[in-house]
A and B are shown apart, each in its own frame.
Chain A
Amino acid sequence: MKAHSPTRWRFKRPSVIPGFGMALGLTLTWLTLLILIPLSGLAWRSSELGWDKFSQIAFDPRTLSALRISFGAAFVAACVNAVFGVVLAWVLVRYRFAGKRIIDAMVDLPFALPTAVAGIALTTLYAPNGWIGQFLTPLGIRIAFTPVGIVVALVFVGLPFVVRTVQPVMEEIDKEVEEAAATLGANRFQTIFRVLLPALAPAVLTGFALAFARGVGEYGSVIFIAGNLPFKSEIAPLLIVIKLEEYNYAAATGIAAVMLIISFIMLLVINLIQSWSRRRYGNGI
């Protein structure tokens, strides 16, 4: 996207594939059909509300608390995934062991599984009488039916994003780079934080952004494990569904529009950080 030199902004770069005009036209048409038209429908519907009603819905305490829970849980889950996704990718790229292919394939499962199934399975595990829950409950730790449960579900559905974005970049980093760092006197800690991670940073951020975005919009897996108590564990997508159940389409699209605006700003910021880190540390690919 913005990988090349930032100072010289060129509209057209020479390419082996000719037909820039057609490619750009196709891109724009496709994006318009798939993304812009549905989203403008959303904006149009919420504009029916008028500013007063819109702000009333957007700043309603229940909406605010639902948004806080959705974005907060998605952020925490994306952070967890960023850390453990990198570790997982590292193991998959750098080591050979029995069953590696199976583990590699397993990483993709959360993509393929209907999220409601994931939600039911996780709830079964973490409910107070579940396999895991029965050991945690006596310790006073409650996961199912609390915001912690939401994070658990979002970690599950978001895991592949980080692994799959980081993995190819990691494969490109030669082992010699680490050896060179070592011969130049870097200890392991320095090698990790000054050589490896900077090269990985843009990819990790991309994975983080994808996992985060997925978590914000996630519905199926969360409603089973969340408990859905207003002001405690009610997520914004559920609130949208509730408004729809009341046949209140305008309010539903209003909340959806607020979510979109926040998401867009956050993703834009992440993208900017990403392009900055790419300039700072190089592409890594």
Chain B
Amino acid sequence: MPSIRMTRFLAAAVFASSVAIGATAPVFADQTLLNVSYDPTRELYKDFNAAFAAKWEKDTGETVTIQTSHGGSGAQARSVIDGLDADVVTLALEGDIDAIASKTGKIPADWKSRFPNNSAPYTSTIVFLVRKGNPKGIKDWGDLTKDDVQVITPNPKTSGGARWNFLAAWAWAKQANGGDETKAQDFVTKLLQHVPVLDTGARGATTTFVQRGLGDVLLAWENEAYLSLEELGPDQFEIVTPTLSIRADPPIAVVDGNVDQKGTRKLAEAYLNYLYSDEGQKIAAKHFYRPSRPEVADKADIDRFQKLKLATIDDFGGWKAAQPKFFGDGGVFDQIYKPAQ
């Protein structure tokens, strides 16, 4: 290489990497706990962690620092598989925890039975976020394939939320067509032709719709839709609840392999159990997640949720069957996206 002046480049590289290392400065507390979660739970766990830390200190006298890592659900699971020492995982999909269980053995295969409600302390569903006044008149799934409607949803290959979107649309179309799977696939194919951008995660899709002004309707986690409404003011957007959607159960699990090594098992279990406590359920409802014990949450929070018919993943034979069929390599999504010619 000629005598290029690469020093500036090197200086920039060194600077960038030192900043990256500096970001994980050690935190001093009696114990620390790492919760690896997915994108839309940022606000929920910020609140919940503070409440739990206060309770833990009151009960045991120990201070605890809880770190939460957020990102796409699949990517987060992969970091745990690759060695991120998470104490607990709170992800968007069962399949992601299953992957950690089967690839690392750090979580037992029967993890789902270790906490109440199939290890899902709160559930959510998929709703539509539309622009104020609902200019395109979107009421239900069928309206999404009208000619001039643009739909924003992330890529089901990379986003857990997008998989729920996809299955919710499928469930609706199947019901509307008397259980015909081919017609359901036709509908979802048509729906995807109305998608101008595939973001990699749910948060990215929300940004595309809300900040960039792209699209007429956002298929969103119910909690994410309410959050957008709260943050941006209800004068810009409206939530439309379709007649049928899917019950999304974001699951939780203790990562046994890591907590046993770090000696944080008791803390990790207490942390997850606290999600089921009255207080934990209240916080979940406040952050627009449907609590598994609605009776203990604030009534005002519960009343915001509209009633609708909910399909479940069991209608698709569970994630173990649905994941490879719809989103695996060469699955339905890949077939739908084959080039037209």
Contacts and interface: CB of A to CB of B under 8 A. Distances in A.
Interface stretch (B4-12, B181-189, B216-224, B284-292): B4-12
Nearest to B199: A228
Interface in A231-266: 231, 238, 241-248, 251
Contacts of A129: 212-214
Most buried by A among B1, B200, B212, B334: B212
B318 interface: no
Interface string B1-28: 1111110110011011000000000000
A111 B213 contact: no
B329 interface: yes
Contact of A108 (B12, B74, B199): B12
Contacts of A202: 2
Name A's interface SS: helix
Contacts of A1: 1
Given A127-B213, A128-B212, A246-B157, A229 B198 contact: yes
A16 to B, nearest CB: 15
B211 A124 contact: yes
Given A3-B2, A245-B157, A247-B103, A127 B12 contact: no
Given A127-B214, A129-B213, A228 B155 contact: yes
Contact of B72 (A65, A144, A245): A245
B5 A164 contact: yes
Nearest to B3: A285
Given A61-B338, A285-B2, A227 B211 contact: no
A199 B338 CA distance: 48
A221 interface: no
| Contact-residue size bin, chain A (C-beta under 8 Å from the other chain) | 35 or more
Contacts of B155: 228, 242
Name B's interface SS: loop
Contacts of B9: 108, 111, 160, 164
Nearest to B4: A165
Given A242-B158, A246-B329, A227 B75 contact: no
Contacts of B198: 227-230
B339 A61 contact: yes
B1 A227 contact: no
Contacts of B212: 123-124, 127-130, 144
B2 A227 contact: no
B153 to A, nearest CB: 12
B12 to A, nearest CB: 4
Contacts of B78: 244-245, 247
Interface string A256-285: 000000000000000000000000000101
B3 A111 contact: no
A71 interface: no
B290 to A, nearest CB: 27
Interface in B186-233: 195-200, 204, 211-214
Nearest to B6: A164
B158 A111 contact: no
A203 B2 contact: yes
A46 interface: no
A168 interface: yes
A28 B204 CA distance: 43
A1 B214 CA distance: 50
B296 interface: no
Contacts of B338: 61
B99 interface: yes
Contacts of B329: 243, 246, 248, 251
Contact of B200 (A164, A231, A238): A238
Given A61-B339, A245-B158, A285-B3, A145 B200 contact: no
Contacts of B103: 247
A182 B287 CA distance: 74
A70 B277 CA distance: 50
Interface in A60-102: 61-62, 65
18 contacts: A61-B338, A111-B8, A127-B212, A129-B214, A145-B214, A164-B4, A167-B5, A224-B204, A227-B197, A228-B197, A230-B198, A231-B339, A241-B75, A242-B157, A245-B72, A245-B157, A246-B157, A247-B103
Given A223-B200, A227-B196, A245-B72, 5 more contacts: A112-B16, A128-B214, A169-B2, A231-B337, A285-B2
